[in-house]
Structure 1
Amino acid sequence: MKKSLRRAALTLPAIVAAGLVGVGGAAPAQADPIQTLSCNHGHTNKDSGEGRTKTRMRYRTGPHTSCSAYAWVDKGTLIYYHCWTTGESIEGKRTWTWGRIAGTQKQGWFSDYYLSDGGATKQC
Structure 2
Amino acid sequence: MKKSLRRAALTLPGIIAAGLLGAGGTAPAQADPIQPLSCNHGHTNKDSGEGRAKQRMRYRTGPHTSCSAYGWVDGGTLIYYHCYTRGEDINGTDSWTWGRIAGTQKQGWFSDYYLSDGGALTPC
What residue number does 2:55 align with? Answer: 55
**Which of structure 1's runs of 4+ aligned residues deviate more than 3 A?**
none
* CA distance in structure 2 between the aligned counterparts of 1:91 and 1:62, rounded to whole angstroms: 18
Aligned to 2:69: 69
Question: Which secondary structure state, in structure 2, belongs to the residue aligned with residue 120 of structure 1?
Answer: coil
SS of residue matched to 1:45? coil
Residue 73 of structure 1, CA deviation? 0.4
Q: What is the deviation of 1:36?
A: 3.0
- Which stretches in structure 1 are left out of the alignment for 5+ residues? 1-34
Deviation at 1:52, TM superposition (A): 0.1
How far apart are the structure 2 equivalents of 1:72 and 1:121?
A: 23
Distance in 2 separating the partners of 1:54 and 1:64: 19
Aligned to 2:113, the other structure's residue is in SS state helix
RMSD of aligned Cα (Å): 0.9
Per-residue Cα deviation, 1:24-53 (whole angstroms, up to 9, x for no partner)? xxxxxxxxxxx7310011000000000000
- Give the whole-Å Cα distance in 2 for the aligned partners of 1:99 and 1:37: 20
TM-score w.r.t. length of structure 1: 0.71
Structure 2 residue 117 is the aligned partner of structure 1 residue 117: yes
TM normalised by structure 2 equals 0.71
Q: Which residue of 2 aligns with 1:30?
A: none
Aligned to 1:84: 84
Please give the alpha-carbon distance, in whole angstroms, between the structure 1 residues aligned to 2:37 and 2:44: 20
User: What's the % identity of the aligned pairs?
Assistant: 83
C-alpha distance in 1, partners of 2:71/2:42?
Answer: 20
User: Of the two, which has the highest radius of gyration?
Assistant: 1
Number of equivalences = 90
Give 3-state SS (helix, strand or coil) of 2:88's partner.
strand
1:1-124 equivalences in 2 (<5 Å): 36-124=36-124
Partner SS, residue 108 of structure 2 = strand
Gaps of 5+ in 2: 1-34
- 2: distance between equivalents of 1:59 and 1:50? 15
> Which amino acid in the other structure matches residue 43 of structure 2?
H
